[in-house]
Structure 1
Amino acid sequence: MKVVIIGASGYSGAELASLVASHNKLTLAGIYVSEASLDKEKYLSDLYPQYLGLLDQILQPLTSNAFADIQKNADFVCLCTDHKVSIELAPIFIEMGKKVFDLSGGFRLSSDEDYQKYYGFSHQNISLLNQAVYGLAEWQNTDDIKNAQLIAVPGCYPTAALNALKPLVDANLVSKENIIINAVSGVTGAGRKANVNTHFCEVSLAAYGLFNHRHTPEIEKYLGHKVLFTPHIGNFPRGILETIYVQLKENVTADQVEKAYDCLADQPLIRLLANKIPTINGVVNKPFVDIAWQQQGSQLIVMSAIDNLLKGASGQALQCMNISMGLCAEYSLLPKGVQE
């Protein structure tokens, strides 16, 4: 299948381009940026020297001619763009008959009211919002992903939280109290555009988005439980670590908790670490979700770690593309031979 990436100069876009270029059943048919981008006409490998020899392709501006080329030469279109840009572009490519994988938050929530409250703008395509399938690969029905024209690739923080919490909620082990999620992300999660608040030399460990972060409604929608989510930015490049505080129902035993997590035991990209504590170093540049937990009475602490650019974005988009082609979700993400 031929893949086009819009917004390929950003961190997630470049990461996705490298995954597609390394995949033996996909062809990277084009990489694009906006007409106003300072990155247009540059080689992607000049922006990211680690991809020299793999991504020696020119970033093309998204002109009318580019749309015509995409119509002729693409099967899958991946949007690594701003939320509002994705909402504008997705229907254009869907009208062309392309399958769209949107890595923004443009199609993850339920209503225009949610977008006004958490994203600060009114959603302009509610009908398409209702058609989008959420691409949480380990949990979504594979037929839904295969048959949908629009896949909303989950956010990075929700990916770590949902994989860690859904086994407990689905097993009905959690009390009605809010689940508390304390999450820390590397600065790549803030994107590549220059901003003094995310400049590496200026970043200190700090909370942001208290009570109103846009990933709160996303987690609650697909978890089916209220959460108190507090994100933090840390002074390291990539990775997410979440420490999650769960109040269990009365008399829930350690065996019940362990049995709940059995549903993830056979998932190749999820590692249950038993008594080990997940770390960011353990997942950086890897496609895994590392999950561990410790229980004291009715209190449970769950820890979850991912690479925000891989499992939290590009890797999960690739999982959805694999599923769409009838391959196992982890194809080409694991060491050669493991997925065969």
Structure 2
Amino acid sequence: MNVIIVGASGYSGAELARLVASHPKLILAGIFVSEQSLDQGKALSDLYPQYTGLIDLPLQPLNSSALQFIAQHADYVCLCTEHKVSVDLAPQFLEMGKRVFDLSGGFRLSSDEDYQRYYGFSHSQPELLAQAAYGLAEWNAHAIAKAQLVAVAGCYPTAALNALKPLVNAGLVSDFPIIINAVSGVSGAGRKANIATGFCEVSLKAYGLFNHRHSPEIARYLNHDVLFTPHLGNFPRGILETIYVHLKEGVSSEQVTDAYQCLAQEPLIRLLGDKIPSINGVVNQAFVDIGWQQQGNMLIVMSAIDNLLKGAAGQALQCMNIAMGLPAHFTLVGGQHD
């Protein structure tokens, strides 16, 4: 399949370009940025020297000629763009008959009201919200396989949902909201220059209290109320979530362990039991590491991912693998390319 990446100069886009370029069943047919981008005309390897000799393609402006090229040559279009930009672009590529994999949040929620509240804009394509398949690979493969539009799951929700869906689906969780305390590296804030997210400026700090856009995403696909608080940490990449779950009366540790066995055969999920996951354990890998410890009715679940791999580009590649009828983890086993 010929793959086009729009927004390839950002961290997630560049990571995805690397994954596609190394994939034996995919061809990286073109990489694009906005017409206003200062990166247009540069090779991706100019921005990311580690890709020298692997991805020396130029970053082309997304103009009318580019759209004609995409119409003629692309099978899959991956959008690594701002949320509202994805909402504007996706219909154009769908009308061309392309399968679209959107790494933004443009199609993850259920209504225009949600977008006005959590994203700050009115959604111009509300009819596509019902059509988009949620791209959480381990849980929604059947829908992903058939969908023309895939809303790749967010980074924080990927860690939270894989850690919590086994418990909720097994009926082990009480009606109390689940408390999610999450910390991400600064790459999660994107590549654009911003003093607040500059490495020397970042301290461990909470943000988005009560209104972060990933809160409704987690609650929607978990079907349970959550209290989600993200933090920005002074490290480049990775997410660690510490999650506090109030179990129903009498739930045993054996029941909790049994609930997680639904993920035991997933190649990119590592169930650590009572061991504590760490960011160092997942950086530059496509795993989700999940550990848990219980005391009475209280359960602490810990989940770690690389936000740019399993939380973005790696998960998008899983969705493309599923669309091609390949195992979702193809080329991602062990977190590296075989």
Q: TM-score, normalised by structure 1?
A: 0.98
Which residue type is aligned with residue 133 of structure 1? A
Letter in 1 for 2:314: G
Amino acid at match of 1:150: L
1:335/1:303 CA distance change after superposition, 3 Å: closer
Give SS of 2:279's match: coil
Aligned length: 338
Secondary structure of the residue aligned to 2:273 is: coil
- Change in 2 beyond 3 A, CA 1:33/1:336: closer
The residue that corresponds to 2:296 in the other structure is 297
1:208-256 Cα offsets, whole Å, 9 max, x none, are 0000000000000000000000000000000000000000000000000
In the aligned structure 1, how far is the partner of 2:168 from the partner of 2:326?
29
Other-structure match for 1:218: 217
Change in 2 beyond 3 A, CA 1:301/1:151: same
CA distance in 2, matches of 1:225, 1:31: 39
- How far apart are the structure 2 equivalents of 1:120 and 1:90? 19
1:147 Cα offset (Å): 1.3
- Amino acid corresponding to residue 92 of structure 2 in structure 1: I
Q: For residue 185 of structure 1, what is the amino acid of its counterpart?
A: S
Matches within 5 A, 1:311-326: 311-326=310-325
Aligned partners of 2:286 and 2:335 also within 8 Å: no
Letter in 2 for 1:279: S
Q: 1:146 & 1:71 partners in 2: Cα distance?
A: 22
Cα deviation code 1:165-211 (max 9, x no counterpart) = 00000000000001000000000000000000000000000000000
Asked if the contact 2:288–2:305 (Cα under 8 Å) also holds between the matched residues in 1, the reply is: yes
Task: Confirm or deny that 1:285 pairs with 2:287.
Answer: no
Classify 1:300/1:336 alpha carbon distance in 2 versus 1 (closer, same or farther; 3 Å): closer
Tell me, what secondary structure is at the counterpart of 1:273?
strand
Deviations 1:36-78 (A, max 9, x none): 0000000000100111111111000001000000001100000
Q: Is the 8 A contact 2:285 2:335 kept in 1?
A: no
- Matching residue of 1:157: 156
Question: Structure 1: how far apart are the matches of 2:180 and 2:114?
Answer: 20
Alpha-carbon distance between aligned partners in 1 of 2:97 and 2:200, rounded to the nearest angstrom:
45
Equivalent residue, structure 1, for 2:261: 262
**Alignment partners' CA distance in 1, 2:229 and 2:133:** 26
Deviation at 1:334, TM superposition (A): 1.6
Question: Pairwise mapping of residues 60-139 of structure 1 onto structure 2 (< 5 A)?
Answer: 60-139=60-139
Unaligned runs of 5+ in 1: none
Alpha-carbon distance between aligned partners in 2 of 1:21 and 1:29, rounded to the nearest angstrom: 9
Partner of 2:326: 327
What is the rounded CA distance, in whole Å, between the counterparts of 1:336 and 1:319 in structure 2?
A: 12
The letter of the residue matching 1:158 is P
Q: Deviations over 1:265-284 (max 9, x none)?
A: 00000000122110000000
Distance 1:329 1:188, change over 3 A: same
2:202 aligns to what?
Answer: 203
1:71-92 CA deviation, whole Å, 9 max, x = no partner? Answer: 0110000000000000000000
Q: CA deviation at 1:143?
A: 3.0
> 2:142: which partner in 1?
143
Partner secondary structure for residue 243 of structure 2? strand
User: How many angstroms apart in 2 are the aligned matches of 1:25 and 1:114?
Assistant: 37
Deviation beyond 2 Å, 4+ runs, structure 1: 335-339
Aligned to 1:271: 270
Identity among equivalent pairs (%):
73
Deviation of residue 129 (structure 1)?
A: 1.2
Distance apart, 1:335 and its partner CA? 4.9
Give the TM-score normalised by the residue count of structure 2.
Answer: 0.99
What CA distance in whole angstroms lies between the structure 1 residues aligned with 2:156 and 2:80? 17
- Measure the CA separation in 1 of the matches of 2:99 and 2:116: 27
Q: 1-side partners of 2:318 and 2:337: how far apart?
A: 15
CA offsets 1:76-120 (integer angstroms, 9 cap, x no match): 000000000000000000000000000000000000110011001
Q: Between 47-56 and 94-103, report the one with greater CA deviation.
A: 47-56
